[in-house]
Structure 1
Amino acid sequence: MSGSTIPYHLRQNKAVERNLFIELLARVGRVRNISEYEYIGFGGPFMEDHKALHAALRMGKMHSIEREQNTFLRQKFNYPAKFIQPHCKESGEFFRTHNFSEKGTVVWLDYTTADDLNEQLNEFHGVVAKLDTFDVAKITLNASTVGLGNFAEIPEIEKAGKRREVLQARIPNFAPADLTDKDFQTKKYPATLQRCVQNSLRDLSARDTELYFHPLSTFSYADGQTMLTITGMVFKASGDAEVEKFISESRLDQWPFANLEWAPPMAINMPALSAKERMRLDECLPIDDHIINNPAEHLKEHLGFIPGATDGELSNYAKYYRQYPHFSRVIL
């Protein structure tokens, strides 16, 4: 479940990913009445995800699951509105008894720990199997290689092999058979973990109708430890025409952040910028097609200096600047 001590509402990369999630759901809303969907998630102490989805999409039926008693008490203290129903229980207990809405469901299982990966994948599979067509499911997993073991006592070159062995032992039913040590390099591990999620959903079926999970977006980001997030929709396995119709009508095939084919996740790695630096950079965004191959140099030239950011971070800003969060001091 969401960590009780981490200020998620101040994490810029997670905030960008949340804003992209809202954009995706808004596109779903072009085809389905997303405001009538119920939302189920791990609210954490501040319930930022719930508040953001309600504000942007008018979703008015929500559930927040929290197993830690103290965090649950903080939730009640920070309770933003009556449309959220808080539940102090294990997520497994909640999903065993919950009756999903016939009007549609969005569920987000936002995990933070790496040790319980097998349990997390099984739970996600079990939840998705209970959903219906056009329901949306999202999972966030710890994609830090350190979560597979630090192995400080062995040479760096041997760590990838040890971590491969740990993952294969941790999720023997879902780890791809063709994994190599290269798949456990820091930058490649989110894609490796994504393949594990894909494997865990291959035998998906629900009730008397075979369903399947179709990916819509996948991202990796780090505000500390690297995380992987995958969002998809449930469709009938025999409904190719239905899938094509939905993607066309929602224009997800025109959304630059969509991942409809299990391609490697897009990385979100935003720079830390002052408000003045952002305003200056925004003057030359979006970037024209003829300079899109070298956005970082274009932004540095426009700014007149290097703002303590790597070329990759600046290129990310050019890509995700619309979703970049605005933090400011306010008087209450």
Structure 2
Amino acid sequence: MNSPKHLNYETRPAKFTERKMLLSSFLRLCNFFKGEYQYIGFGGLSFTDFKLFHKELHINDMSSIEAGLEIEKVKFNSPYSFINIFHELSSEALTKIDLNKKTLVWLDYDGTLDNYMFEDLAILFNRLPVGSIYLMSCNKELKSAETGYIYTVEQFQEKFDGLVPFGIKDQNFSGSEDHKTIKKIFTNLIRKTVKNRNLIGENIYFHQLYNIIYQENRGARMFTFGGVLTSNETKFDDLNLSDFDFISNDDTVYKINLPNLTTKEIDLINLHLSNIEEAETLAKTKIVTISEINKYKAIYKYLPNFYDVRL
């Protein structure tokens, strides 16, 4: 991963909002399945997810995969001595990690869709036990690395061969359809892998929980997909996640839209959160709009607060 060389993941508001959303659902899932988890992810230089999940989920068994940065620099920035650092490609590192443990894995790729992502998925889903949580994120733009332009059907089929969904068309690579195409490929591969495991006597089922898109200001257009492995008997409602608006167990996509508000405007909206009529009156002042109010109400629990502190 090369993005840590250019971006500080701790100060990206949309990414931080997504992280806090995911954490709130992880807390319930970990409580539902109980027992200890290990975490696998890409630590980069900030190790933001590692610090958050250690403190909030009490995970002490952690593995960070980072092939794109100098190993000494990564080790120096590691916040905890118990983080196992793998300085190699993810598809190599995953074969060396004990995946028979209950696992929370978030492969937060910084590039566009590529074949190694499906190699990673196959390694994980052939071994992960019930209770394991899988997420992947990537740039959702379906562009050819060779041409720099959006794939044609022929280019996409040549690149991804047998993974390509039947009947795919050029419009499936557009900005409004690209994440749907990525989701379909991942879903098909997961179903196939889970089915094969069940044919040899296992009892597992994959519940999709995450289907999220967002874009930082003038940044990459990102897509996050994932869910949890359960027994076949476990129903979605059993997981107690239906009250989270961002949870999706179907094709419904959740888009993270951040309002552009000052601290004073946020304080004003907070006073009227539960009163629709007062919010409409507030919008008439032209200080904030109904659109901004609605965006804020949908996401305010997860918004980060950044401060400039003199040390």
Any residues of structure 2 matched to 1:100-119 within 5 Å, and which? 100=99, 102=101, 104-114=102-112, 117-119=114-116
The yes-or-no answer on 1:260 pairing with 2:259 is: no
1:2 Cα deviation from its structure 2 partner? 6.2
Alpha-carbon contact 1:217-1:257 (below 8 Å) kept: yes
TM-score by length of 2: 0.86
The residue that corresponds to 1:233 in the other structure is 228
**Helix, strand or coil at the partner of 1:86:** strand
Alpha-carbon contact 1:281-1:303 (below 8 Å) kept: no
Whole-angstrom CA distance in 2 between matches of 1:218 and 1:303 = 36
Alpha-carbon contact 1:30-1:250 (below 8 Å) kept: no
Which has the larger displacement, 81-90 or 220-229? 81-90
Whole-angstrom CA distance in 2 between matches of 1:146 and 1:274 = 36
Alpha-carbon contact 1:281-1:302 (below 8 Å) kept: no
Name structure 1 gaps, 5 residues minimum.
152-158
The residue that corresponds to 2:96 in the other structure is 97
TM-score by length of 1: 0.81
Tell me the amino acid that sits aligned with residue 307 of structure 2.
S
Any residues of structure 2 matched to 1:77-226 within 5 Å, and which? 77-100=76-99, 102=101, 104-114=102-112, 117-146=114-143, 150-151=148-149, 162-204=151-193, 205-206=196-197, 208-209=201-202, 211-223=204-216, 224-226=219-221
1:137 Cα deviation from its structure 2 partner? 0.8
Tell me the amino acid that sits aligned with residue 106 of structure 1.
L
Whole-angstrom CA distance in 1 between matches of 2:40 and 2:281 = 40
Tell me the amino acid that sits aligned with residue 39 of structure 1.
Y
Alpha-carbon contact 1:220-1:267 (below 8 Å) kept: yes
Whole-angstrom CA distance in 1 between matches of 2:29 and 2:78 = 28
CA deviation map 1:139-177 (0-9, x unaligned): 1122024567544xxxxxxx6xx5444333322222222
How many residue pairs match? The answer is 303
The yes-or-no answer on 1:13 pairing with 2:14 is: yes
Tell me the amino acid that sits aligned with residue 220 of structure 1.
I
Alpha-carbon contact 1:201-1:212 (below 8 Å) kept: no
**Helix, strand or coil at the partner of 2:163:** coil
The residue that corresponds to 1:56 in the other structure is 56
Q: Go from structure 1 to structure 2 and tell me whether the alpha carbon gap of 1:133 and 1:146 turns closer, same or farther (over 3 Å shift).
A: same
Tell me the amino acid that sits aligned with residue 120 of structure 2.
E
Whole-angstrom CA distance in 1 between matches of 2:208 and 2:284 = 37
Of 286, 291, 294, which residue of structure 2 is paired with 1:304?
Answer: 286
**CA-atom RMSD in angstroms:** 2.8
Whole-angstrom CA distance in 1 between matches of 2:293 and 2:74 = 36
Identical-residue share of aligned pairs (%): 24
Alpha-carbon contact 2:107-2:137 (below 8 Å) kept: yes
The residue that corresponds to 1:279 in the other structure is 267
Whole-angstrom CA distance in 1 between matches of 2:285 and 2:111 = 39
1:59 Cα deviation from its structure 2 partner? 1.6
Tell me the amino acid that sits aligned with residue 32 of structure 1.
F
Name structure 2 gaps, 5 residues minimum.
none
